[in-house]
Structure 1
Amino acid sequence: MHHTIFACGAAALFSLSMTAAASAYDGQHCKAPGNCWEPHPGYPEKIAGSKYDPKHDPKEIAKQADSERQMEERNKKRVDYFKKSGKFVYDVAKIPE
């Protein structure tokens, strides 16, 4: 009798796990060729704060581009000075004009 109860419980767990696996995310529902992204079950279609969220402030977004532009300018000064002198100086303020 004890083995029968165990077998019934195992069968029930197995069937539940198969049901969950059948409805699990598989990434095969494509809106267009190559556009197969879909949210996992239980997640919203669009998450607030994504690049499509109109609440982003353009000034805040531009900070990264400004930072990268300044970094590129500093790197150009370092490389130009290295090409002229053969010495690499990390601190741009110490590079003679």
Structure 2
Amino acid sequence: MKQVLTLALATGALLASSLVLAYDGQTCKEPGNCWEAKPGFPEKIAGSKYDPKHDPVEVAKQEAATKAIDERNAKRVANAKETGVFKFDVK
């Protein structure tokens, strides 16, 4: 029983050390940019099977929604600066 437990612990330690060695952080493209793609992942995503091919109509909807959010937040901040009290619903 003791031998089985020792073998299991040794196997776990070996597995953990191999995972640590898988990424060494030494192949950075620039300081702070150390992301490495999995083997077989293309350098350029556009045109590959990983290209998400976003629908321009849906992207435009998202941009319009974000713009509206920014406008509402600007009104809220302006009102808070004026009154000294933050109100969520400012019209």
- State TM-score, norm by structure 2: 0.49
**Greater C-alpha radius of gyration:** 1
- State TM-score, norm by structure 1: 0.47
